[in-house]
Amino acid sequence: MNYVLALFLPPLSILLLGRVFTAIITFLIWVPAILISGGLTHPMFILLAWILIYQSHADRRDRA
């Protein structure tokens, strides 16, 4: 579910992982990047969110 959310709102998906500081920084960069480039930089933020989601799941697997 979080991967789908990352497609549309990457900063929110990062925030839901519990990475507040990273989510705030991503949001502050994401909004101007979307407005200036017209969405060309959006895949970069999706990739960032997916990597962080994957790392979060990997950490949970390692703990168990």
* pLDDT tens digits, one per residue of 18-56: 999 999 999 999 999 999 998 899 999 999 999 999 999
pLDDT at site 63: 85
Q: What is the pTM of this model?
A: 0.89
The answer to whether 10 touches 49, Cβ cutoff 8 Å, is yes
Nearest CA among 24, 23, 43, 21 for reference residue 34: 43
pLDDT at site 60: 85
The answer to whether 39 touches 32, Cβ cutoff 8 Å, is no
Task: Report the chain's terminal Cα–Cα distance, integer Å.
Answer: 22
